[in-house]
Amino acid sequence: MKGALSARNLRRYYTLRQRGSLFSTSKTLKAVDGLSFEVAPGEMFGIVGESGSGKSTTARLLLGQIPPTSGEVWFGGDKVGSVPDASWRRMRKRMQMIYQDPLSALDPRIAIAGQIEEPLIVHFPDFTPSDRRRRVAQVMADVGLLSHHGDRYPHELSGGQRQRVIIARALAMEPELLVCDEPVSALDVSVQAQVLNVFADIRERTGFTGVFISHDLKVIRQVADRVGVMYLGRIVEMGPPDEVFHRPAHPYTKALVSAVPRTGRSARSRIILAGEPPNPVNVPSGCPFHTRCPEARSGCRSLVPELVASGGRAVACHLVNNPSFSGGEAA
């Protein structure tokens, strides 16, 4: 189906080598561990989770920037490869990414207008120079950049201005798939609202499919049609944002939602998780969240929960999917 995005059992593992006194040993870091979801044409899918949960790795896997250890990504009926050949370049014309770190994504030697124009030169050879300049001026204005910013270099801009350059460069391509990795985290609140409105306008006009990654639940609620909550490389809950954030089912989602400041809510209602997230090199057996879960049972230590869909929601939790779970007493 045109514009549909499908991630099928994605895994991305890294081998870490550690040198000892006599021998070197290796360990496996599981950045993404069995990720599956579907994004319908024109839908915006949000991904939230703590730092280190695998969100940015997922973004790079979706665009074929890194190869998966196993699993597949499909977009518009075509398999997304990771080898930079002619087929990959044709797909990249349809797929764009807004990066989390704008400074590392920009060339310090090229003026801003030239960097926004460059992908148009590569992918739209029929555009005249005036066509390109017109498109560059339009997207710069859309994200709140002034015309004189086009003559500057990345180091001459603020962090928020550089982030807007990255957004403008991606939007200039009018992509079919737009993957956004923390696209507004460096922006002021007023500029955030402006950029999110630009996303909404362009999405309404072009109907692009989107994946929006953020740690800000309020932003996700505003832009996403569905949201997936990630923990240690897996999705633990998925569904419409209003339902997931108003009636969270998974204990981890409950803790995330309770941390969002809200007028009139007592600080005592916040759920404080014990300890730090486990090291992805040493993922706990069974449910990966059981070491911090206030509701964990002894059986959660050995049985890996499946992501079970029901009524438009999907949750990976033994206690939610099986209220009579006979996993023993609380761990």
In a domain, 196, yes or no: yes
Query: What pLDDT sits at residue 103?
Result: 84
pTM of the complete model: 0.88
Query: What pLDDT sits at residue 22?
Result: 60
In a domain, 329, yes or no: no
Per-residue pLDDT of the chain (331 residues; tens, 9 = 90+): 467 999 999 999 999 887 665 666 788 899 999 999 999 999 999 999 888 889 999 999 999 999 999 999 999 888 888 887 778 778 888 899 988 888 888 999 999 999 999 999 988 999 999 999 999 999 999 888 999 999 999 999 988 888 889 989 998 988 899 999 988 877 778 778 877 887 888 888 878 899 999 988 888 998 999 999 999 999 999 999 999 999 999 999 998 888 877 666 665 567 877 777 888 888 888 999 988 888 888 888 888 999 999 888 999 999 888 877 765 555 5
**Farthest CA pair distance, the chain:** 70
Query: What pLDDT sits at residue 20?
Result: 62
Query: What pLDDT sits at residue 83?
Result: 81
In a domain, 22, yes or no: no
The CATH code of the domain that includes 176 is 3.40.50.300
In a domain, 231, yes or no: yes
Query: What pLDDT sits at residue 140?
Result: 92
In a domain, 157, yes or no: yes
d(CA 15, CA 53): 17
- Classify each residue of 210-237 as buried b or exposed e, where b means 16 or more C-beta atoms within 10 Å of its C-beta: bbbbbbebebbbbbbebbbbbbbbbbbb
> What is the number of domains present in the chain?
1
In a domain, 330, yes or no: no
Q: 229 phi and psi, to 5 degrees?
A: -100, 120
Query: What pLDDT sits at residue 2?
Result: 60
Q: In terms of C-beta density within 10 A (0-12 exposed, 13-18 middle, 19 or more buried), how is residue 185 classed? A: middle
Query: What pLDDT sits at residue 1?
Result: 45
Expressed as residue numbers, the domain containing 199 is 5-17+27-321
In a domain, 186, yes or no: yes
In a domain, 216, yes or no: yes
